[in-house]
Amino acid sequence: MRRTHRTLVIVIVLAAASSISGLGAPADDVTFAGQAGPPEEPLSLWYRQPAGQWVEALAIGNGRLGGMVFGGVGQERIQLNEDTLWAGGPYEPNNPEALVALPEARRLIFEGKYREADRLIGSKMMAKPLQQMPYQLVGDLILSFPEEKSVKAYRRDLDLDTAIARVTYASGGATFTREVFASPVDQVIAMRISADRPGRVSFTAGLWTPQKAAVSAEPPDTLVMRGVNAPARGIAGALRFEARVRVRAEGGEISIEGETISARGADSATILIAMATSYKSFKDVGGDPGAVTTAQLAAAGRKPYEALRKDHVAEHRRLFRRVALDLGTTEAARRPTDERIREFANSQDPQLAALYFQFGRYLLISSSRPGCQPANLQGLWNESMSPPWDSKYTININTEMNYWPAEPCNLAECVEPLVGMVMDLTETGARTAKVHWGARGWVTHHNTDLWRAAAPIDGPAWGFWPTGGAWLCQHLWEHYAFGGDREFLARVYPAMKGAALFFLDTLVEEPAHRWLVTCPSLSPENPHPGGVSVCAGPAMDMQILRDLFSNTIRAAEILGVDAALRGELAATRARLAPDRIGAAGQLQEWLEDWDMKAPDIHHRHVSHLYGLFPSAQITVRGTPDLAAAVRKSLEIRGDNATGWGIGWRLNLWARLQDAEHAYKILTMLIGTERTYPNLFDAHPPFQIDGNFGGTSGIAEMLLQSHAGEIEILPALPKAWPKGSVTGLRARGGFEVDLSWEEGRLTTCTVRSLSGNRCRLRHGSASREQDLPKGEVLRWDGR
């Protein structure tokens, strides 16, 4: 549905779009007239003005290549990323001094001398260098268009169903359209610039980068940027990279001027961008980015634009269309996305929640396809040489949160890059386990990077946490729990076993109860009343290890291996410190009842609540006392937090099955404080985990499957009285479609993918039956 153009005139003077080009581009100083209506596809982000800031630009990606599309009229900027362009090269961060200090650090902690322990750990037991390598950018493609004084009906949008960003406007009697997408099929970013009148397409294309690189033109139609990556923290850059841009015009002329290419008087033009680095693996940088980009550009160049577009859309839809969500729609849905975000908390706009949900799925498809790097703190999209927290992998919550929606939201193959990273870490983390802890198996602390560094970084308050790898292993098990792929389990079992062996070797007995605990460790980033974070046996570690040991035992049983190890793991599991309820009725974060005395009781992390979500050790029906303690802890902590902190709270309230509280948290997430105009999550600054936590949380409100049964509409808020969802996945190998009216289930359809017994619950009603593979069960919840 297109809104008829109104005569109302809005005037927006844009800030100069960019000061970086040096391409003689006119700054956008354009009058915007004649309001554009919404795009036809309701799953679109759209705006009536170009992006002024990076967090207004629209993200495209094929898992490996990323682009941020600004949509300026006089100047288009497409900020470019390639997911292996990080600083540094293969390096060894392990510190041989660490192991010598380990017994003393443990003694100090068990004697309650936490500050002394912190000092010792800080001086002797951290990685060298103390920080890892940052993720960086390729640069910008800048297109300078002829000067425009005034344009009409300007609109830019991102259609989530086609994964195509678009800019349209009218000027001088012609309507101009730009389309841009990152093709997972042809491994290029493709852009088409067209006008509905012949001969009207003219522009100059150039490349800019802050990297050490040179741009040159290769006749007749190609720009090439060749560079080397940056050093960081004393580690030399070891990568070469190349970006190649080809401009093709239909009609008109193409010419090369210096390091730019111009199209003049064309009917339309197609721009193809290929990018690659010499990265082959965390220990091999011997790739040939020139050969790769040349071949990719040649292959893509042989296909007509329409064929590139068609293949891209089909591949995107193969994943994207597996899940459809309808929460109802209102007039608000016809407004531009930035306005809707501003008003979400006070408007009736259920479709924005559905859009946010699908945007999270879109982001995962766009930043984490098989064969690529996993989604980092910013997914794939980064415009800085020194981004916040280096845009790495923070494993004490952020990386895991990125992957929470993958299995339930039917994007299981998007986990593959994470699995690949875990398998790499079994190698680098084995060195760290040996050098830092004198242990078998492998370990990863709270961060890693492209080079899979596994040693503790930053400082003891953040980095001295040995449980990161164990948490990542949860995703290996969940992939099996949802998909039932025995071959996959056999492939990843060595990683689970190795993670478990590390803890068999490093758990120590604490003096008070003789429980087995991690030490030194910490409850992620939260200082306790001892004034520092380092401690023994925080609740989160114990919960993660219960999962790791249980999953490893189950996997070994399924695969019929390691009988003796199973026994050892079960015996050790039984001796881990249990979850405990403190004097305030809260779930204790530490071995001691410190929660109410901790310096920051509203801390953003809620690590000890891992047991409720993402784990299933605590459930509302199975362990009601512990679930009540989690609720108490959440109340004490408060609702407000960083973007991901709110995302985690959303999932927790959904698991507590408190629909209205979950919804309240969702309104905090989808509001201007935690969501930028382009729907990116605001920590702030931009961090993508909150997007994924939000998508996962909405799924958890509609369907849960962690407690041995599929629970339908466990946390449906009043704001969504009528709706439907298709294609959600449940553990045990099921795909579920639901619809509801007046807040009550009308139909539920369960498809069996693995032939397991199916247990359903809706409120107090339940149903249980065998469901052979391929068969479908329909239930109305009564």
Where do contacts with ligand FUC occur on this chain (CB under 6 A)?
377, 389, 394, 398, 462, 525, 604, 642, 644, 683, 687
Q: Quick one: 426 or 444, whose CB is closer to ligand FUC?
A: 444
Coil/strand/helix, residue 704: strand
Coil/strand/helix, residue 272: strand
Per-residue three-class SS string for 66-117: EEEECCCCCEEEEEEEECCCECCCCCCCCCCHHHHHHHHHHHHHHCCCHHHH
Residue 41 Cβ, how far from ligand FUC at the closest point, in Å? 33
Q: Quick one: 521 or 642, whose CB is closer to ligand FUC?
A: 642
Residue 400 Cβ, how far from ligand FUC at the closest point, in Å? 11
Specify whether the backbone of 658 is left (phi greater than 0), alpha (psi in -120 to 50) or beta. beta
Coil/strand/helix, residue 16: coil
574 burial (CB, 10 Å; 0-12 / 13-18 / 19+) is exposed
Residue 392 Cβ, how far from ligand FUC at the closest point, in Å? 8
Coil/strand/helix, residue 705: coil
Torsion from C-alpha of 715, 716, 717, 723, nearest 10 degrees? 160
Q: Quick one: 547 or 689, whose CB is closer to ligand FUC?
A: 689
Residue 608 Cβ, how far from ligand FUC at the closest point, in Å? 15
Q: Quick one: 192 or 674, whose CB is closer to ligand FUC?
A: 674
Contact 271, 247 (CB under 8 A): yes
Contacts of 90 (CB under 8 A, 6+ apart): 238, 282, 283, 285, 451
Q: Quick one: 145 or 389, whose CB is closer to ligand FUC?
A: 389
Rg (CA), the chain: 27
Q: Quick one: 462 or 653, whose CB is closer to ligand FUC?
A: 462
Residue 638 Cβ, how far from ligand FUC at the closest point, in Å? 16
Residue 377 Cβ, how far from ligand FUC at the closest point, in Å? 5
Rounded CA-CA distance 151/228 in Å is 41
Residue 645 Cβ, how far from ligand FUC at the closest point, in Å? 7
Residue 387 Cβ, how far from ligand FUC at the closest point, in Å? 10
Residue 389 Cβ, how far from ligand FUC at the closest point, in Å? 4
E strand intervals along 65-211: 65-69, 75-82, 139-144, 150-159, 164-171, 174-182, 189-195, 201-208
Beta strand 174-182 pairing with 260-266:
unpaired
Q: Quick one: 290 or 459, whose CB is closer to ligand FUC?
A: 459
Q: DSSP character for 608?
A: G
Q: Quick one: 389 or 692, whose CB is closer to ligand FUC?
A: 389
Q: Which residue reads 């531009």 in tokens?
A: 336
Q: Quick one: 76 or 390, whose CB is closer to ligand FUC?
A: 390
- Cis amide prior to 529 (ω within 30 degrees): no
In the structure encoding, which two tokens stand for residue 673, read together? 């404080």
What type of residue is 90? P
Residue 401 Cβ, how far from ligand FUC at the closest point, in Å? 10
Q: DSSP character for 615?
A: S
Residue 388 Cβ, how far from ligand FUC at the closest point, in Å? 7
Beta strand 260-266 pairing with 201-208:
antiparallel
Q: Which residue reads 């930043």 in tokens?
A: 367
Residue 338 Cβ, how far from ligand FUC at the closest point, in Å? 24
Q: Quick one: 497 or 683, whose CB is closer to ligand FUC?
A: 683
Q: Quick one: 62 or 533, whose CB is closer to ligand FUC?
A: 533
What type of residue is 705? S
Check the CA dihedral 394-402-412-678 and report its sign. negative
- Cis amide prior to 684 (ω within 30 degrees): yes
Q: Quick one: 238 or 395, whose CB is closer to ligand FUC?
A: 395
- Cis amide prior to 520 (ω within 30 degrees): yes
